[in-house]
Amino acid sequence: MIHRSEINNFIVKKLSAGVSANELTLRDILEDDEFRHLFENSFVVVSENTTLAEAKEAMQSRDRCLDIFITATGKKDEAVVGWLSDKDIA
């Protein structure tokens, strides 16, 4: 999950380093260790049978986690059947 605010943060970081925004690609942001780590860890995946309390606990177990994806059995490689944001859980 890539949030617009983090794309903006990445662009600002690169502009500060003298890189033109027109040169940046999605590959650039995904190859940046800081941002790749954030994107890989800013969400959790739970199964359809997970309670809201369990989903909230899973989300809170990760620093800066804002999203919960729901799949049939909670595996990342399954089709997403639902999505909850931190605002939904709050």
Q: What is the pLDDT of residues 35-78, one digit of tens each?
A: 998 888 889 999 999 999 999 999 999 988 989 999 999 999 99
pTM of the model: 0.77
**What does the block give as tokens for 57?**
């606990």
- C-alpha 71/C-alpha 74 separation (Å) is 5
Cβ neighbours of 36 (radius 10 Å) = 12
Percentage of the chain exceeding pLDDT 70:
100
pLDDT at site 63: 86
pLDDT at 67: 95
* Bridge partners (DSSP) listed for residue 71: 47
pLDDT at 2 over 90: no
